[in-house]
Amino acid sequence: MATVSASLTLTSEDLTTDSLSLSTSSSLKKAGQKRTNLDNTTGVARKSTTSTDQYTLFYADEYTADKAHKVYLKNTSTVASEFFTVSLDDEVMGRLYAQDFAFFPWSATDGTKAAFSVTFAATWAEDDTAVFDGVTITLGSTETTAAMVDLVVAAKYPNFTVVETSTSVATFTAKDSNDLSLIEEGAASDDYVITTAGNGTGTVARTVAPVASANDIKITPSVATTMKLEHALLYEL
């Protein structure tokens, strides 16, 4: 089992009237555990940027909520005026100036992912199509509604997962809770497009409204010249 320790030392001869000497350390454990160590990591990496555009460093959706995750960040710049602004979604935590570092807990509380169902009915003819999320399902021959659902479920969508909830219904769930787009409902949806020579239908119904994550870790560089942020995430599943 991996063992990870963190330590912090603060010293000063003149910050206070007495000499400051503070040191603390911790062996990092999983949430609520005394003996089970934190044993997963993204590894240490450096992200290089050349613009002041904000970016998401860690997505809460990708990690288990309310665990003992720990985040390490360091501004590797040697230019005193250059800084990274660290935010939890829209809430600014603070700035990391040149050579500053941070080590803090992260709950990874995620949002609610949008979901909708498509109910297939009637007869599907050869060359009928169902188009969504850049993926086109094309029938090679006349199919039953159950076969249509199987084809939809077997497809790979870039932004959604899909499962069969009955022999005639496929349910789509967004991969990212920050995707706040609402799928148009009904049998003639502009978002889930059915083209059929027969009488096949696919009726869309929204089942879960999306709520954006409030806990993504976002970084904003202060300058458009090259800046590097060193980072690592220690996490549990």
Place of tokens 């409204």: 209
Q: Distance between CA 38 and CA 226 in Å, rounded?
A: 33
pLDDT under 50: residue ranges of the chain? none
Which residues are 11's β-sheet partners?
Answer: 21
| Predicted pLDDT of residue 144 | 76
Kindly list the distances between the CA atom of residue 206 and the CA atoms of 28, 117, 121, 170, 182, in Å, as whole numbers in the listed order.
42, 6, 18, 12, 8
User: Is the pTM of the predicted complex or chain greater than 0.85?
Assistant: no
How many alpha carbons fall within 13 Å on the CB side of residue 162?
Answer: 23
**Domains of the chain: residue spans and CATH:** 26-109+214-235 (2.60.120.10), 115-208 (no CATH)
Query: What does the pLDDT read at residue 145?
Result: 81
Output the CA torsion sign for 122, 167, 137, 61: positive
Q: 77: closest CA among 120, 46, 109?
A: 46
